[in-house]
Amino acid sequence: MLERLNEGIQKLISLYETERNRANALELELQENKVAVQTLKEQIAELNRQIDNQKLASAFSGTADNREAKDRLTRLIKEIDRCIALLEA
């Protein structure tokens, strides 16, 4: 009876160790994925800035219609005004 109890305890300890190792591996993978996601978010933000710059350059170069150029300039001016207001606060 005592031997069977010891065997059960050993089996439980073994299962616990296996699951603990698995949890540690998953935690490491999670951290790696968080870093990858952050890197990709930064890349997306940079690409969006590049797209906006291209659109603005296109508006100034005359390849876009005047309405589109005015809209972009209006948004840019509003963003600059918002930044100035934040700096003054």
pLDDT over 70, % of the chain: 92
Find the mean pLDDT for residues 5-15: 93
- DSSP 3-state assignment of 45? helix
Mean pLDDT is lowest, of 14-18, 25-29, 41-45, 66-70, for 66-70
**Predicted pLDDT at 56:** 78
pLDDT per position as a tens digit, 34-43: 999 999 999 9
Q: For 65, phi and psi rounded to 5 degrees?
A: -75, 165
Centre a 10 Å sphere on the Cβ of residue 59 and count the other Cβ atoms it contains: 19
86: tokens are: 């934040």
